[in-house]
Amino acid sequence: MKIIVGEMIENLKKRWGVESFGGLLLILFIFAITGITTLYVRKLVFGWIGIGSATPLWIEIILWLLIVFPAYQILFLLFGFLMGQFEFVWNFEKKSLNRIKNLFVSKNSRNS
């Protein structure tokens, strides 16, 4: 088990271009604090606009895409900046959003 975890840590450091274990922990902390904060934002905003258990799922999904997803992206950049990892977070964000964009763009239009 120890070997597997050690290999995972080394693979993440290599993949993300992080030199130290502390740097890796900081990046993982940024992901964690962003996710937790986004949950609070969702609860606050959904409560404020009156989304509850009686709200149809399709409305919740649309509002999640319009409110929660962008909130996560902004908070991720903010926490990355505050913790001195803006360059990593910015590059990670660009790569992630590009992958999402490619889901909706046909292969033919990407090549032209």
Q: How far is CA 78 from CA 60, 73, 109, in A?
A: 25, 9, 33
Tell me the domain boundaries of the chain.
Answer: 27-106
pTM greater than 0.75 (yes/no): yes
pLDDT digits (tens, 9 = 90+) for 79-89: 999 999 999 99
Mean pLDDT of 75-100: 94
Residue 33 CA to residue 50 CA, distance in Å, equals 26
Q: Name the pLDDT band for 108 (thresholds 50, 70, 90).
A: low
pLDDT digits (tens, 9 = 90+) for 30-68: 999 999 999 999 999 999 999 888 889 999 999 999 999
